Structure 1
Amino acid sequence: MSASPRRRLGRLLTLLLTLLLAAGTGLAAQPAAAATPTRVMLLGDSITGNNGCWRALLWQHLQSTGHTDVDFVGTLQNPYCQGSFDVDNEGHGGFLATGIANNNQLPGWLSATQPDIVLMMLGTNDVWSHLPPATILDAYRTLLGQMRAQNPDMRLIVAQIPPMNPGGCADCAQGAVNLNNAIPGWAATHSTERSPITVVDQWTGFDTAADTTDGVHPNETTGIQKLASRWYPALAAALGEGGTDPGPGPDPGTGACRVAVTTNSWNTGLTASISVTNTGTTTVNGWSLGFTLAGGQRITSGWNATYSPSSGAVTATNAAYNGTIAPGASVSIGFQATHTGDASGPTAFALNGSACATS
């Protein structure tokens, strides 16, 4: 080959190599695709909608604990609550679970929002309309089927509704109890590994006199705080541990809280006294303390908090009189439990989702 063709071939190879290097550099410079947020629908009636400022507290709690890749979705917006939060929701004032099911309204909302998780608190207006639990749960079944038709991997978190005592409804209080007693069994029957159902107890420890404005709707202090604190552990678990990485932070067990536990046991029972200290610099307003019981233990009674569920991973929620913990202050709670041989104390404490040191 003559010198001229060799030079042309050399220039061509040099150009090709330059183009390949440039392309590789361009590809390397591309930013990583942003993680797709988990879409969460808050489905309910006015307790979720116009009277649902617990949504703001729940959103703020998620953000502060690293769950930042969350998108509340819904066809409605209620932006008036205090602080910044995602205002989208599906809280329709006055709606019944049976009405939503019978009128086939949910498929349109699902299609418009495409949720991955649904928090559902429905049934208050059905109870107010004197409908029996079987009729309400049949509506739940219809709604669940519509959720799974839209997303076979749907995760449903369903609430046992708060107590209710509205004027002119003598049977409402017992009606709420009857519905709530039936919900866990319904959930266990319909939950699947692919599309699990979690039950959240919004009834225990909620006081219609202290926590509502009218016997039904939560007030803007203790009422919304209790609702948000009950939703948080279940939703955080559905989202997965840690949420979006918030960056370097304290090691597990070194959060802004400290827990001390004293246990006393006998043949088949035990008591546990728990002291929770706020070691941070800001006041805690409304709290839930998560912890884990040893296998075979079951809580039979407790004091200074409400406990749900009674075994396994338990959440203790503040009473009406001890929801505030100032910096450096402590609250004391406790419970009695049965056991089948392992009488060790509770472990893995977390206050409002943040791990606590133990002493």
Structure 2
Amino acid sequence: MRSTRHSPPRNPSVRIIPVLGLLAALLLAIGGPLAPRATAAADPTARAVRIMPLGDSITGSPGCWRAVLWNRLQSSGYTDIDFVGTLGPQGCGQPHDGDNEGHGGELVTNVADQNLLPGRLAATLPDIVVMHFGTNDVWSAIAPDRILAAYSKLVEQMRASNPDMKILVAQLIPMNPGSCTACAQRVVDLNARIPDWARTTSTDRSPVTVVDQWTGFSTATDTYDGVHPNASGDDKIAARWYPALTALLDTGTPGDPGDPDDPGDPGDPGGGQPSCSASFRAPSVWQGGYQGEVTVTNTSTSPVSGWTVTVAPADGARLTQIWGGTLTTTTDGTAAVTNEAWNGTLAPGASATFGFIASAPATAGAPSATVTCTAHTASS
């Protein structure tokens, strides 16, 4: 197990903190850890990083992706974290920290207009906010401009609570309820606007990172009613949050000043060379093979213009087909996957995915692979 880095709070009124073991099969289904992290010595002055899941019923009623995400974080060594919110756990059938701010039926525009968030922030003092919010606004035919204005107001309130707030904002999962034939396109329209909004809203001190929860999510197979995620949907949502959230945890707690004499410290705004991380999951397994997915995340504060991921499958498996990248395979089965032209450029905190089919011996165990990422700049 490992601990994220902490610096003692400089001001007791400003809390600075960002975001149990499951069965191996469940960890695999959502892209479980490939190897345990090294244990770090506990810092007696450090306190847990506070992470607020913020949204509506997709986040809180019951919002079981939170349980899946919590257990994956715990099992991969991120133990000095605390999910926070004024609402408590609502089931989900597995131990987890269920505190959250997912209020069923809420509109993000109402939360902004009625100034509901400041009191919730004051009660919980988060350092990272994980926000999937706006589904009810889309259902209510509220225009993207109004929704994004509400996002901006909430971000202002988050920064008033904690100037070092780190914010993950979802491009919403698809929705296709029988009572709203226009909702599917409305989600597409809103999601298309979120990246530009985030770029103009993000700051070095308080970055806003967009997490694509829409791509690869099916209302037919990943929801039980065209809107709310089922178990498959929970796994997919948790898998998308995980790399973006761990990228924040790995670069230090919010407010960590880093080493001012080291321009390569990834915690220093504007410093460091481009870098990336890769995470593996196997969403589908069958006799003699499986489908794999790798998520590549820009973990630096500099843009990445391209990436190469090395995939070393376990138990003699070999990649046979790939999409979202260009494949080169060595004789030992290790594969090098380089980005396509359309998914190589990643802003700080942004992610891209590629998928593959692997063949495996009949005697192979559960799918696993060691994945490493190398970032490229325009000149490399």
TM-score of the pair, normalised by structure 1: 0.65
Which of residues 298, 303, 308 in structure 1 aligns to 2:323? 303
Which of residues 114, 118, 133 in structure 2 aligns to 1:122? 133
1:229·1:317 contact (CA, 8 Å) conserved in 2? no
Which of residues 344, 353, 356 in structure 2 aligns to 1:316? 353
Report the count of equivalent residues: 263
CA distance in 1, matches of 2:206, 2:252: 21
Q: Which residue of structure 1 lines up, in the alignment, with residue 240 of structure 2?
A: 230
CA distance in 1, matches of 2:379, 2:204: 30
Q: Which residue of structure 1 lines up, in the alignment, with residue 18 of structure 2?
A: none
CA distance in 2, matches of 1:124, 1:228: 18
Query: 1:89–1:170: structure 2 CA closer, same or farther, 3 Å change rule?
Result: same
2:294·2:354 contact (CA, 8 Å) conserved in 1? yes
CA distance in 1, matches of 2:226, 2:281: 33
Q: Provide structure 1 residue ranges, at least 5 long, that are not aligned to the other structure.
A: 1-30, 244-275, 279-284, 332-338, 343-359
Secondary structure of 1:199's aligned partner: strand
Query: What is the Cα deviation at residue 304 of structure 1?
Result: 8.3
CA distance in 2, matches of 1:200, 1:133: 18
Q: Which residue of structure 2 lines up, in the alignment, with residue 187 of structure 1?
A: 198
Q: Which residue of structure 2 lines up, in the alignment, with residue 46 of structure 1?
A: 57
Structure richer in helix, relative to its length: 1
Which of residues 67, 71, 80 in structure 2 aligns to 1:69? 80
Q: Tell me the amino acid that sits aligned with residue 177 of structure 1.
A: V
1:309·1:315 contact (CA, 8 Å) conserved in 2? yes
Query: What is the Cα deviation at residue 32 of structure 1?
Result: 6.2
Q: Tell me the amino acid that sits aligned with residue 316 of structure 1.
A: T
Secondary structure of 2:173's aligned partner: coil
Query: 1:125–1:112: structure 2 CA closer, same or farther, 3 Å change rule?
Result: same
2:324·2:343 contact (CA, 8 Å) conserved in 1? no
Secondary structure of 1:209's aligned partner: coil
CA distance in 1, matches of 2:140, 2:77: 41
Query: What is the Cα deviation at residue 166 of structure 1?
Result: 0.6
CA distance in 2, matches of 1:317, 1:46: 30
CA distance in 1, matches of 2:48, 2:66: 17
2:171·2:211 contact (CA, 8 Å) conserved in 1? yes
2:53·2:131 contact (CA, 8 Å) conserved in 1? yes
Query: What is the Cα deviation at residue 78 of structure 1?
Result: 2.0
Percent identity, please.
Answer: 52
Secondary structure of 1:119's aligned partner: strand
Q: Tell me the amino acid that sits aligned with residue 223 of structure 1.
A: G
Query: What is the Cα deviation at residue 161 of structure 1?
Result: 0.3
Query: 1:33–1:340: structure 2 CA closer, same or farther, 3 Å change rule?
Result: closer
Tell me whether 1:145 sits opposite 2:156 in the alignment. yes
Which entry has the higher C-alpha Rg, 1 or 2?
A: 1
2:211·2:351 contact (CA, 8 Å) conserved in 1? no
Tell me whether 1:58 sits opposite 2:69 in the alignment. yes
Q: Tell me the amino acid that sits aligned with residue 52 of structure 1.
A: G
Structure 1, residues 247-288: CA drift from partner, whole Å, max 9, x if none? xxxxxxxxxxxxxxxxxxxxxxxxxxxxx798xxxxxx9975
Q: Which residue of structure 1 lines up, in the alignment, with residue 249 of structure 2?
A: 239
Tell me whether 1:289 sits opposite 2:299 in the alignment. no
Structure 1, residues 33-66: CA drift from partner, whole Å, max 9, x if none? 2521110000000000013100011001111111
Q: Which has the higher contact order (CA 8 A, sep 6+)?
A: 2
Q: Provide structure 2 residue ranges, at least 5 long, that are not aligned to the other structure.
A: 1-41, 254-279, 283-289, 309-321, 326-339, 359-363, 370-376
Structure 1, residues 295-331: CA drift from partner, whole Å, max 9, x if none? 64489xx7389x9964347442779x99xxx825479
Query: 1:67–1:149: structure 2 CA closer, same or farther, 3 Å change rule?
Result: same
Query: What is the Cα deviation at residue 117 of structure 1?
Result: 0.5
Q: Residues 128-277 of structure 1 correspond to what in structure 2 (within 5 A)?
A: 128-220=139-231, 222-240=232-250
Structure 1, residues 323-346: CA drift from partner, whole Å, max 9, x if none? xxx825479xxxxxxx9786xxxx
Query: 1:236–1:104: structure 2 CA closer, same or farther, 3 Å change rule?
Result: same
Q: Which residue of structure 1 lines up, in the alignment, with residue 113 of structure 2?
A: 102
Query: What is the Cα deviation at residue 240 of structure 1?
Result: 1.6
Q: Tell me the amino acid that sits aligned with residue 139 of structure 1.
A: A
Secondary structure of 1:118's aligned partner: strand
Q: Tell me the amino acid that sits aligned with residue 140 of structure 1.
A: Y
